[in-house]
Amino acid sequence: MESVTSNNVESQTMKAIVVTDKSAGTAGMKLVERPRPQAAINDVVVQVHASGFVPTELEWPSTWTDRLGHNRTPTVPGHELAGVVIALGYGTTGLSVGQRVFGLTDWYRDGTLAEYVALESRNLAPLPGDVDFTVGASLPISGLTAWQGLFQHGRLQAGQTVLAHGAAGAVGSLVVQLAREAGAYVIGTGRTADRQSVLDFGAQEFVDLENNTLEDVGSVDLVFDVIGGEIGKRSAALVRSGGILVSIVGPVETQAANILAIDFVVESDRAQLNEIVQRVRDGRLRTNIGDISSLDDAVVALNPTGRRKGKPIIRIRP
């Protein structure tokens, strides 16, 4: 099972990274040989060119159990991809074989740290020919999360003030840019070392959470929380009456009156993926790509010794 051969294309197997042990975290990742996935009803099979990875995904319950709570290991992590469609399942419409695509895989299915992945066609959007696969793989989770948090759940309006936590990170950097484009005044937060990067993404102010007092920002219309815990609680108190706190790290405990506190998990949306990639093409959005590694080197790359910067991408095909 764990020997990896190079001539696996004809053999109907593929290289993939799997996890079996939750307590081991990313250190438990192993590169193995697996059967290639088949396209079920409404599915496509994609030859993965690049895969995005969210470092916390090995803490998500869906990495370990199916929808009934049964153990589903060994599982293939990674939920973002850019690649080329190589097969359509029964009844699949909207995409064709040979098409370049990017998107988000189902949390409860095998993911994208693999040479091939099967997923529902509705989870993908066309990737324009002038957008590199590495760029495409960096966008689905971060981009859709930022978009949905700001515009669907946060109901952002021009002229409002947004407090964007973790603004140098994968989601936060896109929150800053999309909120600025929408005409908001953006206050980004992060660690001391993140100041310049957050200002470069377009935030008008930066709060160093290690040295500044968060409460000094005064009141805001919208908090976008990617950190949680005490930061989430303290941020809820900063939301002005009628404002919204959006969290992507679970519910925020708050006694604050007359604010809306929402936590959500990102969903696939082809139209929103189209909007996001169009902004990357015309320069309105800058990607935040961190280390890029090959599939063979991914286990080491996804266990860095230092602090991560940006979104880790695994380039599955050169």
Report the interface residues with ligand NAP, using CB under 6 A: 54, 56, 141, 145, 166, 168-172, 190-191, 209, 226-227, 231, 248-249, 265-266, 307-308
Dist CA 271 CA 27 (whole Å): 36
In the complex, least distance from residue 87 CB atom to ligand NAP, rounded to whole angstroms: 29
By beta-carbon proximity to ligand NAP, the closer residue of 47 and 138 is 138
136: Cα separation from own chain's centroid: 11
Least spacing, CB of residue 134 vs ligand NAP, in Å: 16
Tokens read off for 181? 């484009």
Closer by beta carbon to ligand NAP, 85 or else 238: 238
141 and 113 Cβ atoms separated by less than 8 Å: no
Cβ pair 316, 115 in contact under 8 A: yes
Q: Which residue in 107, 123, 118 sits closest to 270, CA to CA?
A: 123
Q: Are strands 161-164 and 205-208 parallel, antiparallel or unpaired?
A: unpaired
Query: 């998107």: which residue's tokens?
Result: 103
Residue 191 CB, shortest distance to ligand NAP, in Å, is 5
Find out whether 135 and 33 touch, Cβ atoms under 8 Å. Answer: no
Pick the closer one to ligand NAP by CB: 47 or 177.
177
Q: Which is nearer to ligand NAP, 121 or 288 (CB)?
A: 288
Residue number with CB closer to ligand NAP (32 or 222) = 222
Q: How far is the CB of 223 from ligand NAP (least distance, A)?
A: 14
Residues 6+ apart with CB under 8 A from 59: none
Place of tokens 């929808």: 67
**Residues 125 and 300: beta-carbon distance below 8 Å:** no
Q: Smallest distance, Å, CB 57 to ligand NAP?
A: 7
- By beta-carbon proximity to ligand NAP, the closer residue of 18 and 146 is 146
> At closest approach, how far in Å is the CB of 217 from ligand NAP?
14
Measured in degrees and rounded to the nearest 5, phi and psi for residue 7 equal -95, 50
Nearer to ligand NAP, 70 or 307 (CB): 307
Q: Nearest-CB residue to ligand NAP?
A: 169
Q: Which stretch of DSSP H or E encloses residue 18? A: strand 13-18
CB of residue 2 vs ligand NAP: minimum separation in angstroms?
A: 28
